[in-house]
Amino acid sequence: MATHLLLIDCPDEPGLVYTISGIVFHHGFNVVSNHEFVDPTTGHFFMRTAVTGAANPEAMAATLRQRLPTGAGVRLASTEPRPIVLLVTKEPHCIGDLLLRHDYGDLPARILAVVGNHDVLRPLVERFDVPFHLVGHEGKTRAEHEAAMLEVIDGYAPEYLVLAKYMRVLSPGFVARYEHWILNIHHSFLPAFVGARPYHQAFERGVKMVGATAHIVTDDLDTGPILHQSVEPVDHAYTAADMARAGRDIERQVLATALRLLLEERVFLHHNRSVVFA
Q: Which residues are catalytic?
A: 222
Largest CA distance in the chain: 63
Q: Residue 29 carries which side chain, given as an amino acid letter?
A: F
Cα(149)–Cα(153) distance, integer angstroms: 6
* Rounded Cα–Cα distance for residues 36 and 87 (Å): 33
Which CA distances in Å does 131 have to 97, 121, 149?
Answer: 17, 11, 14
Residue 80, CB-side half-sphere exposure with 13 Å CA sphere = 6
Taking CA atoms, 79 is separated from 49, 137, 169, 171, 193, in Å, by 12, 37, 32, 32, 37
Main-chain dihedrals φ then ψ at residue 58, nearest 5 degrees: -65, -35
**Inter-helix orientation angle 93-103/240-263, to 10°:** 40
Total count of residues recorded for the chain: 278
**For residue 223, what is the DSSP state?**
-
Contacts of 22 (CB under 8 A, 6+ apart): none
Task: Mark out the alpha helices in the chain (DSSP H runs).
Answer: 16-26, 57-67, 93-103, 122-126, 142-156, 172-177, 198-205, 240-263
